[in-house]
Structure formats: structure tokens, C-alpha cells
Homo-oligomer: A and B are copies of this chain.
Amino acid sequence: MTDALATPYLAVDLDVLSRNIERTAGWAREHGLRLRPHAKTHKSPEIARRQIESGAVGLTVATVAEGEIFCRAGATDLFVAYPVWAAGERGARLRALAQRVALRVGVDSVEGAQHLGIALAGTSATVMVEVDCGMRRTGVPAGEAFEVARAADRAGVRVAGVFTFPGHGYAPGAAARAAVEEAAALAEAAELLRTNGFADIEVSGGSTPTLAHSDATVLTEVRPGVSVFNDAQQVELGTCGWEDVALTAVGTVVSRGGGRFVLDAGAKVLGADRPGWATGAGRVPSMPDARVVLLSEHHAVVEVPAGAVLPELGERVAVAPNHVCAAANLAREYVVTVAGRVTRWPVTAAGANT
């Protein structure tokens, strides 16, 4: 019984999780795209295994440390979708990882490529050139992709392809346009590489909100992360419905009055992500008209519409975090309900930032 569990905790609904995994996999199959889900969202070997069984070709990770953990858990094909600076101890760890799995590593600079060349010499690891498609985070402009690829080639590392992250699609009404820009940037970069002698170019993109808009005539691979769980942001963006949210933080009502109640599931459980367009700092799926108006470290203050009934003190209420990747990283375990029985899955890669 979950009623005996100390709150706050993260609850995962296995039925919804399984449906989400299958839905994303089915979408990729249907569109002829390889699926390489981003494991930074869940950080769980158990969930990664289910994604692979469902047809994913491998995993995406954000850090070498995540790669090491998923490797130890049995993963055999990893893409560190990040411009890894492979000097010093990180270079040594990356090299060790490359000796154990099929490895791809992101790169977005000539200097970065040179360090990767040293770190990965003699291994089968490859690099993927990161291009920016409008988010303005990492990645070179598409027109500079060849320069980076050439540097990698000269440094002795095989170039597997190009990738981008259309993160600017995380805003209301922005997904379709971000996907168009994603396809344009990737097409330009891939064409540049192909005309300069690089063959078998992987063209990798995708994010949860833009996934349905992905251009399957350009992309060969997609890397959504959040879609495995979904979250309040995705519901508010229209990417999914409440019935698709597989993870919530369960809190106890510790205070109430004046049209508000307070849960003990605060920012140290939910994460503090709150984009300007969000209606609050998370949502209560069972009370769609309620708003999380204030989030402190150990308090979620939920306002209900005038006349709505407040939950009782001591009642348990589930909150969907705004950004599920942040919530997962804060947890040590998921409380998973499987056919009425409670089990726990460790969040093995939580905090694996290096």
C-alpha cells in the first residue's frame, strides 16, 4: 500500500509509462526513424531496458557519467549528445567508455574535435557534429558543420553525422516552427558533409514537443526524452493529456485555508522550472482548475477556484512537475505500482553530471 509511504515521493504509473514508451516507439517505426530516447529524463536502467525492448536502437545520454552508469547496467549503444570537452580526466573516462560500448559523442568546435581525436584514438567511437537550429545554446551554425567534421576527420575520429536540439520548441505554438528550423539546419549541415565526402550520415533531432512535427524526409533518428513520462509543461503545450502523465510527486496536505492548500512536495522534489508561459510551478492532475501559485523548497501552495472544495489536512495529492527531468534527478527512487503491488526502481543516474 502506498498510503504507508513517507511523502513526498515520486510515483510512476507503469501502465501509462508502458503506453508512452510504446507510443513513441510506434511513432518512430511508422515514420521510418531510428529512436534513441534520452535517458537523462528517467536515469533508470529498468526504464532504459524497456525502451530498448520496445525498439530503440540505443540510448542518448547527456554526460559521460550517465554513459558509464548505463553501460554498467548493460547498455551497448550510447550517444553522448553533448559537446564533451574530452581533456584530462573526462577524456580518460570517455576513452574507457568507448572501449566498452558503441559510442557516439557530440562536438561543436575544432578544438573539441582535436581533444576527442586524442581521447578516442584507436577506439571505434564516432562523433556527431552539433548544429544550432535556433535555440542558441550549443552547436555551430549549419554552414560551419563541415569545418568541425573536417577537424574530427583530421584528428582521426570517424564522423557519424549531425545532430541538433530544437529546444526553442518548448513554448506555446512554437513546436511546428522549431521542427521546420530543425529540419532546415540539419538538411543544410548533412548536405555539406555529404558533398564533402562524408557518407552514411546520421541526421539526428527531435524533442518531445516537436516530435510529431519532425521531418522524416530529413531526419534519420529522433531523441525525445520527456515523452517517456510527460509532465505539466507538455500538457500545457498540448503535447499530451493528463492521462499520458506517468510520473507525479505525491505530497501530503500540511496546511489549508483561504482557498489554498499546501503540500509537502516542494521544489526539492518537483524542481523549480517555471517558464514564463506556464500557469504555475506544476499542476495537480486531479484538480485541473487548481494552480500551483508558489513553490518553496518544501511547500507547494495550490490555489483552487472560488467555491472549490479544498482537500483535507493529511490527504495525499499528486502533483505533476513542470519539467519531469528535473524531478527525476532529485529523486533516489521511483515508487512504481505494478498490478496493484508497489515496487521501487532506483534512479541510478541521478546526480551523474560529470
Contacts and interface: CB of A to CB of B under 8 A. Distances in A.
Contact of A294 (B137, B325, B326, B354): B137
A6 B64 CA distance: 11
A44 interface: no
Contacts of A353: 8, 264, 266, 268-269, 298
A354 B8 contact: yes
A342 B175 CA distance: 46
A121 B137 CA distance: 57
Interface in A1-39: 3-9
A9 B296 CA distance: 24
A40 interface: yes
Interface residues of A, number: 67
Interface in A250-266: 252-258, 260, 262, 264, 266
Nearest to A269: B353
A271 B272 contact: yes
Interface stretch (A83-91, A180-188, A239-247): A83-91
Contacts of A266: 353
A314 interface: yes
Nearest to A139: B255
A273 interface: yes
A229 to B, nearest CB: 14
B136 A260 contact: yes
A274 interface: yes
Contact of A298 (B7, B62, B273): B62
A39 to B, nearest CB: 12
A6 B351 contact: no
Interface stretch (A107-115, A151-159, A214-222): A107-115
A267 interface: yes
A330 interface: yes
B354 A314 contact: no
Given A62-B298, A351-B330, A351-B332, A138 B262 contact: yes
A270 B265 CA distance: 20
A125 interface: no
Interface of A: 3-9, 40, 62-63, 65, 82-85, 87-90, 93, 108-109, 111-112, 115, 136-140, 167, 252-258, 260, 262, 264, 266-269, 271-274, 294, 296-299, 301, 313-314, 323, 325-326, 329-332, 351, 353-354
Given A268-B329, A330-B330, 4 more contacts: A40-B297, A108-B255, A111-B313, A267-B271
